[in-house]
Amino acid sequence: MPHHGQPITLSIDTLTDKGDGIANWHDRKVFIPGTLPGEQVEVSLHGIKPKYAQADLIRIIQKHPQRIEPHCSYTECGGCQLAYLAYSEQLKIKQQQVVAALQSKGITSFVEPCLGMSQPLAFRNKAVYAVRTENGEPQIGFYRKNSHQIVDITTCPVQHEQTTAITAAIRQWMKTFHIAGYDEANHTGCVRYVMIRHGFKTGSCMVVLVTLTDDLPKEAELLTALGAIDGIDSVIHNVNPDPVNRILGLQQRVCYGRESIEDELHGLTFTISAHSFYQVNPQQTDQLYATALHFAELKGNETVFDIYCGIGTISLYLAQQAQKVIGIEIVPQAIDDARANAQRNQLANTEFYVGKAEEVVPALYTQGMRADVVVVDPPRKGCELSVLNTMLAMSPQRIVYVSCEPASLARDLAVLQKGGYHITKVQPVDMFPHSMHVETVVQLTKS
């Protein structure tokens, strides 16, 4: 049997949800980054366990016919796992992910081709860069795959082009004034993260400096450096003193401009603060939410529940065509934003409630509230069973499920099917080109 480091030849069968190739070897699954289904590869084994092994790619003997050169030289960052594959093939893989997840739960509904982008670069409206110092030099970039080591990055093709100038200015500011990046091992240093948010339609931009320290050293000099870049409307100093992986702390102040920026989607205006959840791909967000609105099939006289509503983005789409929309979200600041967004867009037919969906939805039902249509957009873990059971008890005409995780989607759909609903439409949407991530919108109707 081959030992650690010995080259062997394998054939790639499929991909993990992280984009690594999977091959079979002596009753073990072998995981090989940078490979694609159907490829024959020479690899070097390591981490051999009874059920699986890891391997490093040595060379590709037989390439996937749609293998391409990646759009970015920073392949170690792990953000664009499918950068080696032509975009049309990426969309097929994402469609197949949804098909496989549904079939694993015995669901055989037809899955539409994945809705993609015409130009799948420079699509992100939010970037979060980790900051470190290495040998006295600032490092601003993304984590290397499966680690907290930084891949120092000067430009990222999937981010808004302005991020290159902003990170370059911050890098030079740190270098000139000897401002330390965060030392995670010792919980020391100063700058932990740089967050950059853009309003694509409005052209607005927010820069957030997250520090370990209460003060932002050489703040005036930083503002001068950022002031040389056109279009920055807001500079925020956020303090996160806790030894945790959470990016933002609770304390922050405005250094320049406003505490929030605005963006437009589907003719609606949204306020985005540093803490706001807002989908990172505006073009595909419009496709995703327009699909959800289409699947809701609203006539104008319905009461709609929008569960896990965030800042009310889907709620406001729905409110334009429904009689009333009730939104539920656990994050208080998001609900504040949702109410402000409804007022800004003059949509008075909305109500928003703060709390856990598994508590608020049953409580509203107990109080006599009913929904004609329910829209759910849960986190990756999917819906709590109590939420699904309350939805079934309400017996809405339609349920629209917006999912960011095929496995939890399939699990929840199986519950709803058993409860008397029929899956009528399944539409994957590519929110994150070049990654394995896929969003899906599903329409269910009462059987």
How many Cα atoms within 13 Å fall on the side-chain side of residue 298? 27
Q: Region of 186 please: left (phi>0), alpha (psi -120 to 50) or beta.
A: alpha
Strands 204-211 and 191-199: antiparallel
Structure tokens belonging to residue 230: 């056109």
On whether the CB atoms of residues 357 and 384 are closer than 8 A, the answer is: yes
Q: Could you give phi then psi for residue 408, rounded to 5 degrees?
A: -70, -30
Catalytic residue chosen out of the listed positions 114, 205, 255, 404: 404
β-strand pairing of 324-329 with 303-307: parallel
Integer Cα distance of 224 and 424 in angstroms: 56
The enclosing H or E element of 414 equals helix 406-418
Terminal alpha carbon distance of the chain: 56
Q: In 105-218, which residue ranges form alpha helices assigned H by DSSP? A: 162-176
**Edge-to-edge strand order for the sheet containing 137-143?**
150-152, 137-143, 126-134, 191-199, 204-211, 234-239, 251-257
Angle between the N-to-C axes of helices 357-366 and 385-394, in degrees from 0 to 180, rounded to the nearest 10: 30
Contact 210, 189 (CB under 8 A): no
**Residue 404 annotated to the active site:** yes
Task: Identify which of 383, 394, 438, 437 has the alpha carbon closest to the alpha carbon of residue 419.
Answer: 394
Return the H-helix or E-strand segment holding 382. none
Q: How far apart are CA 119 and CA 87, in angstroms?
A: 10
Residue type, 221: E
CB atoms within 10 A of CB 299: 11
* Active-site residue list: 404
